[in-house]
Amino acid sequence: MISIKAFRKIGGQLLIIGLLLAVVPAAVLGTTMYRNTKNTLAEEAIANLNTFAKIKSDEINGYIDHLEDLGYYTANNIQLVEGLISLSKVDYNLSSLEWLNKIKPDIEDLGKDVTSRTDFNVFLVLSPSGSIIYSTNPSDIPGTDFSEKDYVLGAMEGHITLSNLFYSDITKNYCLALGLPVIDPKKSDSIADDQDSIVGIVSLVVTGGSLKSLVQSGIEQIG
């Protein structure tokens, strides 16, 4: 688990280098390097990757700011907040008429809006204990415990949390996930350090396409 603040401290360089090594074909790094000796190749590759990582650092941090803003807006959606407050009153019973007739349709509409208008590919809503309530990913079954996932655990503790870079066997892509607590405003006016006011968790996942295009932009210049 990594907080947004901690991510900015490392400047995204580990993420960039990890993505480059994971998703960029070796040939893309440039034919010039392969004409040099083995030692020169290694030195130039490392130097070029480090330079590229530094250049991309500001872009990555700006992108993370953008994702955080989108996540914060989503977690404070009035229908979502009111729906989870209502659902909490029936102990998050997904068989209740309140859920089936009112809350679920509203959350489904929000999920469609988020995934169609933003870079996020998956929208999840979870209970304060980390169990899935709803997901736009059909492979995510309601009731499944996600509490051990780093980005969910951080949100359960009241923090906006960015996951480590991970590979999804479902999407066959590298992903980043953002976890945010959904707060009952009547119980708290602060998003952190007050777990009693948390009525749910929002998790938003961005997959390989957006990450690859961001990192690979300009990569031809390092060859």
Res. 153: pLDDT tops 60: yes
What pTM value is reported for the model? Answer: 0.74
pLDDT in tens, 88-117: 999 999 999 999 999 999 999 999 999 999
Is residue 55 pLDDT above 80, yes or no?
no
pLDDT over threshold 60, residue 222: no
Tokens linked to 40: 């020169």
User: Average pLDDT, whole number, for the chain?
Assistant: 80
CA distance 214 to 141: 31
| Average pLDDT, integer, range 29-46 | 57
Please state the domain extents for the chain.
Answer: 2-6+62-222
Amino acid at 125: V
42-43-46-52 Cα dihedral, nearest 10 degrees: -120
Helix (H) or strand (E) holding 134: strand 132-135
> Could you tell me how far CA 213 lies from the centroid of its own chain?
16
**Is pLDDT larger for residue 208 or for residue 75?**
75
Query: How does DSSP classify residue 154?
Result: H
Average pLDDT (7-19) is 53
Question: CB under 8 Å to 148, separation ≥6 — which residues?
Answer: 130
Can you give the pLDDT at residue 11? Answer: 47
86, amino acid identity: S
Q: What is the pLDDT of residues 156-198, one digit of tens each?
A: 999 999 998 888 777 777 888 999 999 999 876 544 446 789 9
Identify the top-confidence range among 10-19, 34-43, 54-63. 54-63
* Residue 50 pLDDT > 90: no
Alpha-carbon distance 98 to 135, whole Å?
A: 18
User: Has domain 2-6+62-222 been given CATH number 3.30.450.20?
Assistant: yes
The whole-number pLDDT of residue 192 equals: 47
Residue 211 has pLDDT above 80, yes or no: no
Residue 71: predicted pLDDT: 94
